[in-house]
Amino acid sequence: MYYKFSDFTQRLTGSVSSTAYSPQGLRSNVPSEASTLIFATPTKVISESGPSLEYMGTNRVPDLQRIFQSSDGVPVHLKRGVPDRLLYRTTMALTVGGALYCLVALYIAAQPKNK
């Protein structure tokens, strides 16, 4: 006897050998015709937008690579100066404050109730 998984009842049911040897997830579903590519062409036609298409703006990757790959002894998370220092110190303050808050909450929870 052959079995297959039933999508309707979510259980094994009896089946014929041809369906048991080619389960639902393993069939080769080759489409008869090729589907059209959705993102193959730009959203604007060149004649609509003028002489140049610029989707993402200027490429800042080389500048950022120059900043982050320089060996000046500064950790990578502080390479961009004051904004990085501000974010780092805020994160550390919130981490220490949260840890202290958890310790205080545990201390309060460990105290017996007064009647």
Question: 59-77, pLDDT tens digit by residue?
Answer: 888 998 998 888 888 888 8
Amino acid at 12: L
Between CA 111 and CA 102 the distance in angstroms is 14
The per-residue pLDDT for range 43-63, each reduced to its tens digit, is 555 555 555 555 667 888 899
The reported pLDDT for the residue numbered 11 is 83
Q: Which domains does the chain have, with CATH numbers?
A: 2-110 (4.10.91.10)
Strand, helix or coil at 94?
A: helix
Please list, in sequence order, all residues whose beta carbon lies within 8 angstroms of the beta carbon of residue 67, skipping any fewer than 6 positions away.
79, 80
The chain-wide mean pLDDT, for the chain, equals 79
Residue with more model confidence, 26 or 61: 61
Mean pLDDT, range 8-37, rounded to an integer: 69
Please, which residues bridge with residue 4 across strands? 13
**104 has pLDDT over 90:** yes
